[in-house]
A and B are shown apart, each in its own frame.
Chain A
Amino acid sequence: MMLTDKGKMAMIQHRASVARIAFLVFACALSLPAFGFSILSVDATRDSEVSVAANVTAAIEFTPTVIEALESSIPITIRTNIKVYRVRKNMWDQLVCEYDSRDEVSYRSLYRTYRMRMRGSNIVREYDSLDEALGAIGDGRLHNLVLENAQFDSEETYIGKVRISLDRTALPSVMRVPVFFKNSWRLQSDRFEFDVK
């Protein structure tokens, strides 16, 4: 059967619509809202021309699925990402410093304790309960940020953005694909903006 030009156009538009909807569904699937973590406050102070002390207070709570994995000896890593920007007018803010902190929480079944290890350092702490371990990460945790190739200008305005998230890339590789599309593993806070005093 021969199609008229209008028919062909309609078919092409229909296919384009279907493709567009499929793309939107896929994009929505990839950007499902995250939950579980929330940042309550950040108190950031410049303690020198090249460093900032940021005291981050956050509420961190795992989903039952994550707790089950944790108690099955799967270490869970919580990533704290802080960025400091120099505010500019009529332009994008300039990133002057980025800081990443990763805390690994693991369960020791022999002692039924929760071990928190700050990656990148030798600090290891044991907690009797998960709440205590997560509280140690979220209750007023102090992070020291150091600018590498810049220094603070007293006449400039600086702001910071912080986000706490469950680092899925630190999970065992075989788990990454299954957890990628699961909401119970999409634990991260909104990006919290704060002033750098």
Chain B
Amino acid sequence: MLSLFKRYYTIALALTTVLLVFVIFELVGVLTGTMRFDLFSRSHVELLILNSVGVVLVLTWIGVYAYQLFKQYRRRVPGTQLAMRILRNIALITILSMAVVYGFSFLALSRGIDNWFELQVGEAVEEANQLRVMIFDSFESTIRNDFQNVVDELATLIGRQEGQEFTKGFGESVSDSSESATGIRLQLGEGSLESDGIGFVIGAGASDTAPIGDGAGLEPDIRTEIFQRIFRASQSKDYEEVTYFEDLTRPESMVVSSSSRPGTLLPVQPSQWLIEQHLLEAVPGQQTLDTRGIQDTVEGGSDQTQPWGGRRSSWELLTDDDGSALLRMLIPIPIAGHVSRHYLQVLTKLPSSSQRLAERVSQMNERHERLEYLRNPLKVSFVLALTFVTLIAVLLATWAAIGLTRRLVEPIRSLSEGTKAIAEGYYEELEELSSRDDLSVLVKSFNDMTRRIRQSQKQIRLSQELAEQHSAYLEIVLEHLSSGVLFIDKDNRLTNINLATQSILEVSPEDVKSVHLHDMVKWNRKYSPLFASIERAIDRKISDWSNTVRLETEQGEQILSFSVTELPVPDSATGNHVVVIEDITALVQAQRGVAWREVARRMAHEMLNPLQPIQLAVERIQYKTNARMSEDDSRSLELSFAAINRQLNTLHRIVKEFQNYSKPVVLRPVSLNINKLIREVVSLHDKPEQVKEIRLDLDPDLPAFQGDPDKLVQVFNNLINNAKEAARVSGDAILQIQTRANELDNIVVSVMDNGPGFESEVFDRMFEPYATTKKQGMGFGLEIVKRIVEAHGGVVEAKNNPDGVGAQIRMEFGVGPTRPTATTEVLAYRDSQQGIEV
């Protein structure tokens, strides 16, 4: 929701700005009362509705934000507590202050508007009206005075004709007069004007009369008399027009009229309003009049029809064609002292000063009326404007509070998220603030800290990678090391072993993982001396200790050299001690061979030196004594010399074998076919008296082989001789020689016999010198075979056949180039450094 808020914050901002502009126009329009902008003037209401919708939208937006903030506050999102506090305080301050301002403004507006109308303005207008009425009343008095005599004379004239009809009162014989009216026509000088309707115009000098209208129910003489009277009166006082109405309820009943208005054909009829005023006065209590042209209901004494403040008027104003104002007055003509429907209408022009005054007062009055009418709408508009102003102020304050809150809280939230990210291992720097306040300093410090941690972590990672590389390197070295390595923790438990250890001790890491040394002692009796010795070394707390143990195995003697070293820095992964084990059985055997060869060489040398002088001396003695001695003595002596020579020959053979044994193997390799070489050797031994059968099982697809043919011939001779001798023990000697190429393309040669097999007591020392069961022979044959095969880079092993009949010697030669020198001599370099524990 926060992201949503961020996304729509700009939209809300733009919306509020537009709203603000609209509201400002709205307020200007309302407060000034005139819209300068036509668009806003014509769309006033729509603008107001739009503003209301906008205010609601912004309020909704603020409400949603507040709700989301409250939810985050309950979830304890960092920064929301501060945000809530700021928003709450600002909102409280704003609402309280704006409520006070709104309340006072509302009262001031209401009271102020009421006071404007109720006090000064209304009273002034009323007084102006009264003043104007007083002025017009003075005109009325003047006119009434001017026409008092005329009215009296007309009353006498009319009363004379009507007699008692008019004395009965108003309204009793109206219909008759209308029906009997005939009208008159007045001549104007030489010409005449004839009206088709109800009125006429008459000028000075009229001397004749004619019927007009429908209200001329009087005698012609009387009408003429009336006209003369009103004509004289109008001329004497310079009145615009004077008209006599026989029946005011019917304006068309005008009888005679005198007018000085140029271009006017018919007299001006009184307005319905003025007629109404007089008739209501004439008949008190009558609420409505059934008069033509008066449609509206009229209430007597009502202000609605009394523009001059509830007072019935006998006059009214009207505008002339030239725009000047005329005062029209109706003067009743009482007949015999009673109210009648006979009226005189007098029109007189107002003085220009009075007209201007009347106009201005009228305008002021209209303005006042308009304002009075607009009073409530004005209050509504002002209150509306005030409400909008207040709402906008609150919205602005809230808006500012939200902006301020975001500005304050956002860095705090970023810091919190940054801290959490660091805790999770992410070292991203925060976006720095553009401001230069405390928060920006805090963010900068945080970023510095993050940068340093990241650099440290990078260095640690590099070191770790280096250590891992080193560890991997060590692991590879350990795995490919011919020496076995064991790691033992502080509790004397094995933690790890390398590949060589698995080979030497014939165990897997899973078997010995976390196994105590004490249990390892019990685990395999064969290795008990080793682990007992290791445990003893650790218990003695010797930091670096070496020793050798001799173990008896099924394959023979196994000699292990080991060293126990305490690690300087204990590690839970590796342990506290490291043990290096080396199988030195072959080394010891090689050392033994070297020693034996040295012994043989010296013995041959020491034996050969006296043998030759002895043999020469024996021959000399035999030569000198042979001639001097008798035949019997000589024969007997011959036998003695023959015995001496045989022993000397035996000694020579022994010396010769010693010499051969002590010589190093020096190869002169050439490419050869090993099958062909075997056939050549076999042809020398394939004699029936020596062997019954030599079977050849030779693989014709053997690869080419680099070897010394002389040495190899020696090997095969030795092996065949041994096999023949062994096979002869069991009767018919049958040998089998087999060649194969294995999966590594190495050449495997096996020599098998059907003899009794190897005895167990010599099995362990099969390839050692003097290891023989033959009566004749020094036991150098297999040892020489071994040395030659190893000089060719091969291996040799001896074993009894699985079926229990005979034995076999198996040799495996590599097909690569053979080194020209022997290799077995180099193994005795540690003789003086190793002690042997028996």
* Residues of A that sit less than 8 Å from B by CB: 68-69, 72-74, 108-113, 126, 128, 168-169, 172-178, 180
Contact = CB atoms under 8 A, between A and B. Distances in A.
Instruction: List 5 tightest A-B contacts by C-beta distance, closest first.
Output: A110-B362, A72-B373, A73-B366, A73-B370, A174-B381
Given A108-B362, A113-B319, A172-B374, 5 more contacts: A73-B370, A74-B373, A110-B317, A174-B30, A174-B374
Nearest to B381: A174
B interface residue count range (under 10 / 10 to 19 / 20 to 34 / 35 or more): 35 or more
B44 A173 contact: yes
Contacts of A113: 318-319
A72 B273 CA distance: 17
28 contacts: A72-B369, A72-B370, A72-B373, A73-B367, A73-B373, A74-B370, A109-B366, A110-B317, A110-B365, A111-B319, A111-B325, A168-B45, A172-B370, A172-B377, A173-B35, A173-B41, A173-B44, A174-B30, A174-B374, A174-B377, A174-B381, A176-B45, A177-B44, A177-B45, A177-B380, A177-B384, A178-B376, A178-B377
Nearest to B274: A112
Contacts of A110: 307, 317, 358-359, 361-362, 365-366
B66 interface: no
A109 B370 contact: no
B42 A169 contact: yes
B520 interface: no
B33 A174 contact: yes
B41 A169 contact: yes
Contacts of B365: 109-110
Interface in B717-733: none
Contacts of B307: 109-110, 112
Contacts of B41: 169, 173
A7 B626 CA distance: 142
Contacts of B30: 173-174
B318 A177 contact: no
Contacts of B361: 110
Contacts of A68: 373
B126 interface: no
B271 interface: yes
A172 B377 CA distance: 10
Interface string B319-332: 10000010000000
**Which of A72, A110, A172, A177 has the most CB atoms of chain B within a 10 A radius of its CB?**
A110
A118 B317 CA distance: 24
Contacts of B825: none
B372 A172 contact: no
B33 A69 contact: no
A173 B381 contact: yes
Interface in B762-809: none
Nearest to A69: B373
Given A73-B367, A109-B362, A128-B271, A180 B374 contact: no
B316 interface: yes
Contact of B45 (A72, A126, A172, A180): A180
**Which of B44, B318, B365, B367 has the most CB atoms of chain A within a 10 A radius of its CB?**
B44
Given A110-B359, A112-B271, A173 B33 contact: yes
Contact of B48 (A69, A169, A172, A177): A177
Contacts of B48: 177
A111 B325 CA distance: 9
A72 B41 CA distance: 22
Interface in B110-144: none
A110 B365 CA distance: 9
B378 interface: yes
B203 interface: no
Nearest to A72: B373
B435 interface: no
**Which of A174, A175, A178 has the most CB atoms of chain B within a 10 A radius of its CB?**
A174
A175 B377 contact: yes
A24 B30 CA distance: 30
B669 interface: no
B373 A173 contact: no
A68 B365 CA distance: 16
B518 to A, nearest CB: 62
Nearest to B373: A72
Nearest to B43: A169
A98 to B, nearest CB: 15
B169 interface: no
B29 interface: yes
B34 interface: yes
Nearest to A26: B49
A108 B381 CA distance: 26
